[in-house]
Chain A
Amino acid sequence: MSGAHTARPMETADLSHHISRRFNEDLERVRGKVLVMGGLVEQQLANALSALIEGDSKLGVAVARGDLEVNGMEVAIDEECQRILATRAPAAGDLRLIVAIIKTITDLERIGDEGEKIGYIASRLAAMERPADQYREIKHLGRIVSEMLHEALNAFARMDSEAALRVARQDRVVDEEYEAIHRQCITFMMEDPRSIRRVLDVMWVVRALERIGDHAKNICEYVIYMVHGKDVRHTKLEDVERDLRVGP
Chain B
Amino acid sequence: MISGTGGFLHVALRIVTAVALGALLGWFAGHVWLGVCGALGLYLAWNLWHLRELHFWLQHRSVADPPDAAGLWGEVVAQVVRLHRRKRFHKERLTRLFRELRRSTAAMPDGVVMLDPQGEIIWFNRKAGEMLDLSRRADLGLRIDNLVRHPDFVQYLRRGDHSSPVIVRVDGAQEKHLAFQLISYGEDQRLLMLRDVTREVRLEQMRKDFVANASHELRSPLTVVAGYLENFGTDPALAELAGPIAEMRRQTDRMTRIIEDLLELSRFEAADGPIKGAPVDVPAMVSMLRKDVLARPTHPARVEVSIESGDNLVGDEAMIQSAFFNLVDNAAKYTPADGAVFIRWWTDEDGGHFSVRDTGPGIPSEHLPRLTERFYRVDPGRSRETGGSGLGLAIVKHALYRHGGTLSIDSVDGGGSTFTCHFPALRLWRRTPLS
Query: Which A residues contact B (CB, under 8 angstroms)?
Result: 28, 31-32, 35-36, 38-40, 42-43, 46, 50, 143, 146-147, 153-154, 157-158, 160
In the bound complex, do residue A36 and residue B171 qualify as a contact, i.e. CB atoms below 8 Å apart? no
In the bound complex, do residue A154 and residue B151 qualify as a contact, i.e. CB atoms below 8 Å apart? no
In the bound complex, do residue A36 and residue B147 qualify as a contact, i.e. CB atoms below 8 Å apart? no
Known contacts A32-B143, A46-B171, A146-B171; A39/B138 CB under 8 A: no
In the bound complex, do residue B151 and residue A39 qualify as a contact, i.e. CB atoms below 8 Å apart? yes
> Which chain A positions have C-beta within 8 A of B154?
36, 39
In the bound complex, do residue B145 and residue A36 qualify as a contact, i.e. CB atoms below 8 Å apart? yes
> Which chain A positions have C-beta within 8 A of B146?
31-32, 35, 157
In the bound complex, do residue A42 and residue B149 qualify as a contact, i.e. CB atoms below 8 Å apart? yes
With the chains together, A46 CA to B142 CA distance in Å? 25
* Interface residues of chain A: helix, strand, loop or mixed (majority): helix
With the chains together, A46 CA to B175 CA distance in Å? 11
> Which chain B positions have C-beta within 8 A of A158?
138-139, 142, 147
With the chains together, A158 CA to B147 CA distance in Å? 8
> Which chain B positions have C-beta within 8 A of A146?
171
Query: In which size bucket is the chain B interface?
Result: 10 to 19
* 8 closest A-B pairs by CB: A39-B149, A157-B146, A35-B146, A158-B138, A46-B171, A40-B151, A43-B151, A36-B154
Near A by CB (< 8 A), chain B positions 136-195 give 138-139, 142-143, 145-147, 149-151, 154, 171-173
- List the B residue with the shortest CB-CB distance to A159: B138
Known contacts A46-B171, A146-B171; A153/B149 CB under 8 A: yes
Q: How far is the CB of A49 from chain B (nearest CB, A)?
A: 8
With the chains together, A43 CA to B152 CA distance in Å? 10
Residue from A28, A32, A43, A160 in contact with B150 in the complex, judged by beta carbons closer than 8 Å: A43
In the bound complex, do residue A35 and residue B145 qualify as a contact, i.e. CB atoms below 8 Å apart? yes
> Which chain A positions have C-beta within 8 A of B142?
157-158
Q: How far is the CB of B180 from chain A (nearest CB, A)?
A: 14
Residue from A32, A50, A143, A160 in contact with B145 in the complex, judged by beta carbons closer than 8 Å: A32
> Which chain A positions have C-beta within 8 A of B150?
39, 42-43
In the bound complex, do residue B149 and residue A36 qualify as a contact, i.e. CB atoms below 8 Å apart? yes
A–B pairs, 13, beta carbons within 8 Å: A28-B143, A32-B145, A38-B149, A39-B145, A39-B149, A39-B151, A40-B151, A42-B149, A46-B171, A50-B171, A147-B172, A157-B146, A158-B142
> Which chain A positions have C-beta within 8 A of B147?
154, 157-158
Most buried by A among B143, B146, B147, B150: B146
> Which chain A positions have C-beta within 8 A of B151?
36, 39-40, 43
> Which chain B positions have C-beta within 8 A of A32?
143, 145-146
Apart from the given pairs A35-B146, A157-B142, 7 other A-B contacts in the complex at a CB distance below 8 Å: A35-B149, A36-B151, A39-B151, A50-B171, A154-B133, A157-B147, A158-B147
Most buried by B among A31, A32, A160: A32
> Which chain B positions have C-beta within 8 A of A147?
172
Q: How far is the CB of A28 from chain B (nearest CB, A)?
A: 8
With the chains together, A31 CA to B147 CA distance in Å? 12
> Which chain B positions have C-beta within 8 A of A28?
143
